[in-house]
Amino acid sequence: MLFVLLGMVLLVGGGLGFLFLRKPAQVAASTQTVARTPERIARGEFLFLHVAECSGCHSQRDFTRVGGPEVPAGRGRGSVLSDFLIGLPGVVVAPNITPDAETGIGAWTDGEKIRAIRDGVDKSGNALFPMMPYQMYRQMSDEDVEALVAYLDTMPLVRNPLPKTSLAFPVNVLIKSAPRPAGSVPSPDRGDRLRYGKYLAAVAGCVDCHTPAEKGERIAGMEFAGGQVFASQAGTVVSANLTPDLETGIGRWSEEFFQKKIYEYKDYAAQGPPPLSGPQAFTLMPWLAYAGLPPDDLSAIYTFLRTVQPVHHYVETHPGAPKHPPSAPADTGR
């Protein structure tokens, strides 16, 4: 009996040791140095601000104003997300991604940056918390991820020391299964509106926010149907149904209306949004970022969304709030 008990202890101890010590799936970071051409940097800035919307987490933002605009000189400095978002499993930090060598990623190679963005592991090969949407960025083309890195390399550096992410058990162990090498990803055909729209929606992470989840896993069959709850210190919002369901989704939206809805925030993005007028004006949907997308890109995204499976799922995006904010466009996103 003593030997049996000892064997069980060793087995359990070994299993726990393996779970805690094992590294996620990964390959060595490439040794490439990304060429910083003006065209590539411009494309990277566009991706950073308007598609991948990196500023949503990695920049300082002012959530006392509609859309939570970037604070001047706060781009890329990082933030402690768990200080703002409620219900995260521990201390969750979007790190400083400016070129500062001590508090940012200035000491990272370009290959390590590419690996982090698409594969989901940091400079040391540790799994990143998948709130960083690398599982969607995995679909980002080689050209686009290199453009994004070229822009990161040329950003103004900001010295901003932050704590490290510290996740509670078992999340800190389970996330080790999330990273996966992306390999080489070809550029999408921009002439194919459906495929390019699918690509943009993937890099923008639309399915991540607009699909309800249980225990961190998307509910099968509810893709893009909305209903994911985002609780924060500034208020609670729920993601909208983006499927083409005629009654509860966007099935009755024309392409013209879809673009008009996004572009309602164009003046706010250019001139600065007003202060929040109430809980009905609070939003985490990156309207200000998407208002900078060109019409062709919005047309491609709309074309893709029309092809997803319609799901009849009513969502109240601002539970308990007045229906029409007096000083901001109606937020039907999240």
Domain boundaries, the chain: 35-78+94-177, 193-305
Is pLDDT above 80 for 2?
Answer: no
In this prediction, what percent of the chain has a pLDDT beyond 70? 90
Q: Looking at residue 129, what is its pLDDT?
A: 97
Instruction: Check if the beta carbon of residue 140 is closer than 8 Å to that of residue 186.
Output: no
Q: What kind of fold does domain 35-78+94-177 have according to CATH?
A: Cytochrome Bc1 Complex; Chain D, domain 2 (1.10.760)
Q: What average pLDDT is seen over the chain?
A: 92
According to DSSP, the β-strands at 213-214 and 217-218 are antiparallel
- Mean pLDDT value across residues 91-115: 98
For residue 175, the one-letter residue type is I
Task: List CB contacts of 277: < 8 A, sequence separation 6 or more.
Answer: 325, 326, 327, 328
Q: Looking at residue 265, what is its pLDDT?
A: 97
| 140: nearest Cα among 201, 194, 94 | 201
Q: Looking at residue 242, what is its pLDDT?
A: 98
Instruction: Check if the beta carbon of residue 206 is closer than 8 Å to that of residue 54.
Output: no
Position 6 confidence tier, pLDDT thresholds 50, 70, 90? low
In this prediction, what percent of the chain has a pLDDT beyond 90? 87
> 164-173, 201-210, 283-292, 316-325: which range is least confident on average?
316-325
Q: Looking at residue 215, what is its pLDDT?
A: 82
Instruction: Note the pLDDT tens digit of each residue in 271-296.
Output: 999 999 888 899 999 999 999 999 99
- Mean pLDDT value across residues 11-39: 79
- For 189, list phi and psi in degrees, rounded to 5: -85, 105
Alpha-helical regions (H) of 206-265? 206-209, 255-263
Q: Looking at residue 246, what is its pLDDT?
A: 98
- Mean pLDDT value across residues 2-29: 65
Is pLDDT above 60 for 18?
Answer: no
What is each CA distance from 286 to 31, 94, 102, 136, 186, in whole angstroms?
34, 17, 30, 17, 27
> 115-119, 232-236, 309-313: which range is least confident on average?
232-236
Q: Within 13 Å of residue 332, how many CA atoms lie on the same side as its CB?
A: 15
Tokens, residue 143: 């050209």
> 17-26, 124-133, 233-242: which range is least confident on average?
17-26
Q: Looking at residue 326, what is its pLDDT?
A: 46
User: Is the alpha carbon torsion for 84, 89, 90, 92 positive or negative?
Assistant: negative
Is pLDDT above 50 for 319?
Answer: yes
Environment class of 62 (CB within 10 Å of its CB; exposed 0-12, middle 13-18, buried 19+): middle
- Mean pLDDT value across residues 192-201: 98
- Mean pLDDT value across residues 207-228: 95
- Mean pLDDT value across residues 70-84: 96
